[in-house]
Amino acid sequence: MEDFYREMIIERYKTPHFRGVLDPNDISYEDDNPSCGDHIQVDVRLDENNVVTEALFSGEGCAISQASADLLMESIIGKNLEDLKDLSKEDILENLGIELGPVRLKCALLPLKVLKAGVYGIGESEEIE
């Protein structure tokens, strides 16, 4: 567990690169993790081909959820909507580069959950994994 807080995670938590709000936006969604009070909002702008041009997150939470959100925003720029639907738990863990127990996994996955809910919310009705 000693290496749990890799320097990169702490750095991203303290000085996130993709923190903020986009208004106007094409996708905006927010949600909470009820067990810890973490709150994440994700705002995304798309071009005419449904490719992500800008992505920012806001909200509050632990280092894991915030770093996960920051890394996720970075990773989706240039991807199209269909790519976003394919994002999985493994992508998030790869971003963070650490192993997580079931409780902290929820922190790490909250940003993805919010992003996907936003993506599916714009007209598609497919089930979220």
Partner 1 sequence: MTPNKSTGFDVKKVREDFPILGRDVHPGIPLTYLDSAATSQKPNSVIDAMSAYYRDTNANIHRGIHQLAEEATYAYESARDRIADFINAPSSEELIFTRNTTEAINLVAFSWGRAFLKRGDLVLLSEMEHHSNLVPWQILASQLDLELEFIPVTPEGLLDLDTYSQQLKRGPKLLGITHMSNVLGTINPLKQILRDAKAAGAVTLVDGAQSVPHFSVDIQDFEADFYAFSAHKMCGPTGIGALYGKKEFLEKMPPFLGGGEMIKRVELRSFKTNDLPHKFEAGTPAIAEAVGFGAAVDYLLDLGMEAVETHERSLTGYAIEELSRIPDLHILGPDIEEKGGVVAFYLKDIHAHDVAQILDSKGIAIRAGHHCAQPLHTKFNLPATSRASLYLYNTKEEVDLLVEGIQKVKDIFA
**How near is the Cβ of 99 to partner 1 at its closest, in Å?**
13
Q: Looking at 46, 51, 63, 105, which residue binds partner 1 (CB under 8 A)?
A: 63
Query: Site residues for partner 1, window 65-104 (CB under 8 A)?
Result: 65, 104
User: Is residue 37 near partner 1 by the rule CB under 8 A?
Assistant: yes
Among all chains, which residue has been given the structure tokens 């936006």? 25
- Token readout for 7 is 């320097």
Neighbours of 3 (CB within 10 A): 9
Q: Looking at 17, 53, 60, 89, which residue binds partner 1 (CB under 8 A)?
A: 60
Q: Whose Cβ is closer to partner 1: residue 27's or residue 95's?
A: 95
Rg (C-alpha) for the chain, rounded Å, is: 14
DSSP at 44: E
Strand bridging mode 52-60 / 38-46: antiparallel
**Chain residues in the site for partner 1 (CB under 8 A):** 1-2, 4-5, 10, 14, 35-39, 60-65, 104, 107
